[in-house]
């Protein structure tokens, strides 16, 4: 039961982290000044994301301590928690993640929504996303390749947050009737293509580096022989599905919205198609994060 809680808490933290980084970054590069639709959704969304990360990290610290100590009763003892925090990189990373998320929460509540807040939130999101490398397989590699693996893992987490957090923001935007700001929404969708492409390239390259360390070329043929390999295959399938949906959005649906707007036609049918596609892509991303959460608790083929 505790192991299931660890997986669930990892998924909650991942979900909060991608929004904490990707959503304000999306707002920064998509809209300038008063340009764009109503941003009233941004502050409550970021508050929820910061709370998910902070509370999830503290709860995960207790759950992970219970796994190591053998019971929840032992885990809540001050001595056990103190050892976890001061004696393990895992515990220190979780506390640091929670502290940065709480700092971000204070800024989100105290500051006015705007570019200054978005920049500070992006900075907090970067630290939170990078911290997952220290609670995953990236920090376990020893030897001369250890630093390369750690850096690749950090970049992989950041790239995933860029893509999935922007998708979350797009889902919220498209679920709200943009009205006179349909053109700004189209511009944001068009602009997302550049950052989305960068995120995909980073994910592919860093994924190859991570797989080199965690699987290895000699084990590719037998990848489906263990639970980690099966989940990795499922993750790649989900990634390919997200790419297909993203390509449809970029090359068919977004230009279709642009044509409707420039031709003076009713943009609602095009917006509805885009909404369905972006929601589907976001849901696939949520399932992909769940697979990653489970993979983080399993031994990779290289450790067997």
Q: Where is 93: in which H helix or E strand?
A: helix 89-110
- At residue 286, the pLDDT reads 96
Q: Is the pLDDT of residue 59 over 70?
A: yes
What are the distances in angstroms from CA 148 to CA 88, 161, 169, 258?
21, 20, 32, 42
Q: Is the pLDDT of residue 33 over 60?
A: no
| Phi, psi for 84 (deg, rounded to 5) | -65, -40
- At residue 155, the pLDDT reads 93
pTM: 0.90
- At residue 262, the pLDDT reads 81
Q: Is the pLDDT of residue 36 over 60?
A: no
Q: What percent of the chain has pLDDT over 90?
A: 48
Confidence of residue 282 (pLDDT cuts 50, 70, 90): very high
Cα distance between residue 177 and residue 264, in whole Å? 17
Confidence of residue 217 (pLDDT cuts 50, 70, 90): confident
pLDDT higher at 215 or 35: 215
- At residue 140, the pLDDT reads 67
Q: Is the pLDDT of residue 246 over 80?
A: yes
- At residue 147, the pLDDT reads 84
Cα distance between residue 294 and residue 230, in whole Å? 11
Q: Is the pLDDT of residue 196 over 90?
A: no
Q: Is the pLDDT of residue 179 over 60?
A: no
Confidence of residue 146 (pLDDT cuts 50, 70, 90): confident
- At residue 297, the pLDDT reads 86
Cα distance between residue 65 and residue 71, in whole Å? 8
* Size of the chain in residues: 304
Other Cβ atoms within 10 Å of 77 Cβ, number: 12
- At residue 248, the pLDDT reads 92
Spatial CA neighbour of 169 closest among 288, 4, 55, 21: 21
Confidence of residue 164 (pLDDT cuts 50, 70, 90): very high
Instruction: Report pLDDT digits (tens) over 257-268.
Output: 888 888 878 888
89 within 8 A of 139, measured Cβ to Cβ:
yes
Instruction: Report pLDDT digits (tens) over 89-145.
Output: 888 889 999 999 999 999 999 999 889 999 999 999 999 999 998 777 766 677 777
Ordered by where they begin, the domains of the chain are 2-303 (1.20.1630)
């Amino acid at each position: 039961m505790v192991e299931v809680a660890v997986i669930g808490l990892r998924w909650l933290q991942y979900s909060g982290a991608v929004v904490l980084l990707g959503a304000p970054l999306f707002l920064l590069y998509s809209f300038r000044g008063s340009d764009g639709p109503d941003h009233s959704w941004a502050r409550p969304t970021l508050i929820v994301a910061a709370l998910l990360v902070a509370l999830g990290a503290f709860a995960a610290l207790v759950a992970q301590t219970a796994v190591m100590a053998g019971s929840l009763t032992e885990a809540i003892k001050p001595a056990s928690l103190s050892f976890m925090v001061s004696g393990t990189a895992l515990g220190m990373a979780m506390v640091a993640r929670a502290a940065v998320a709480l700092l971000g929460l204070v800024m989100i509540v105290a500051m006015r929504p705007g570019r200054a807040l978005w920049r500070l939130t992006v900075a907090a999101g970067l630290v939170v996303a990078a911290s997952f490398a220290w609670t995953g397989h990236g920090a376990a590699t020893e030897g001369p390749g250890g630093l390369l693996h750690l850096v690749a893992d950090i970049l992989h987490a950041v790239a995933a947050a860029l893509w999935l957090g922007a998708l979350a923001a797009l889902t919220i935007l498209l679920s709200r009737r943009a009205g006179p700001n349909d053109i700004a929404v189209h511009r944001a969708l068009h602009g997302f293509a550049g950052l989305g492409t960068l995120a995909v390239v980073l994910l592919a390259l860093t994924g190859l580096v991570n797989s080199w360390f965690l699987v290895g070329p000699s084990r590719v043929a037998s990848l489906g022989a263990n639970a980690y390999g099966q989940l990795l295959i499922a993750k790649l399938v989900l990634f390919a599905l997200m790419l297909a949906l993203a390509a449809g959005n970029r090359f068919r649906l977004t230009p279709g919205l642009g044509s409707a707007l420039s031709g003076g036609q009713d943009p609602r049918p095009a917006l509805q198609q885009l909404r369905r596609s972006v929601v589907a892509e976001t849901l696939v991303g949520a399932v992909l994060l769940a697979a990653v959460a489970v993979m983080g608790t399993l031994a990779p083929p290289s450790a067997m």
